[in-house]
Amino acid sequence: MACSCSAPEPKSPAPGFRKALWVALWVNLIMFLVEGVASLQSGSVSLMADAIDFFGDSANYLLSLSVLSMGMLWRGRAALVKGITMTVFGVAVLGRALWVAQSSITPEPLTMGAVGLLALAANVAVAITLFRFRAGDSDMRSVWLCSRNDALGNMAVMVAALGVFGSGTAWPDLAVAVVMGGLAITSGTSVIRHARQDIREAHARNPHADVRAEPAPPSPE
């Protein structure tokens, strides 16, 4: 849960946060392409859900970079957009899983497991890089949650691959896709609550904050 206490507004991004965002952005873009192709070849819904999540996270990291030197109001607004995106993604995954459940397509488990393992290694590295920023403002928190969800999603895809391999059915893949969709929804709503709190605090500190972005001195890198 997001902390409800009020903290002083940060005047500049935490040292190293910008570099960590660029690393996360490129890792997510590469893995979106890899998992996207693999999901088409294997027919896996959970792998496709993870690929779409990679793409959404890439856009979110780019959004974070664009508002990184601005004040709490604009970072809170960016986090609000990301929270809504995460929630919509979760709903879309649940809808896709429901649609596939009505078909008789069984995914190919070996491709699922191999690509899931590769994605897990990439996301664990990103999660470790972003771990120390998890307690920052709503924008930093949303970045951490994206990274954490990716690592959990990769592990879930590998579990689904084992389930499909053992059962010969698509149900383990669909079950994991539903869990991933639910995780995206709960994380998205958490980010939305924290972002709205940051926006309220920014307005309380500066009622005229809507007129212009709150400038902040560049962070020494």
Q: For position 34, what pLDDT does the model report?
A: 92
Q: Which two three-digit tokens encode residue 38? A: 């693999």
Q: Is residue 65 part of a domain?
A: yes
* CATH number of residue 146's parent domain: 1.20.1510.10
The answer to whether residue 164 is domain-embedded is yes
pLDDT mean over 194-201:
80
CB atoms within 10 A of CB 5: 6
For residue 214, being part of any structural domain is answered with no
Tell me how many domains the chain contains: 1
Would you state the structure tokens that stand for residue 71, as one six-digit string? 């004040």
Lowest mean pLDDT among 78-87, 145-154, 165-174, 190-199: 145-154
Cβ pair 46, 176 in contact under 8 A? yes
Q: What is the mean pLDDT of residues 127-149?
A: 69
Q: What is the pLDDT of residue 5?
A: 29
Question: Rg for the chain (alpha carbons), in Å?
Answer: 18
Does residue 182 form part of some domain?
A: yes
Q: Please tell me the distance from the alpha carbon of residue 31 to that of residue 7, in angstroms, as a whole number.
A: 36
**140 versus 101: which is more confidently predicted?**
101
The predicted model gives 89-113 an average pLDDT of 81
Domain holding 129, by residue range, is 17-205
Q: Which residue has the higher pLDDT, 219 or 165?
A: 165
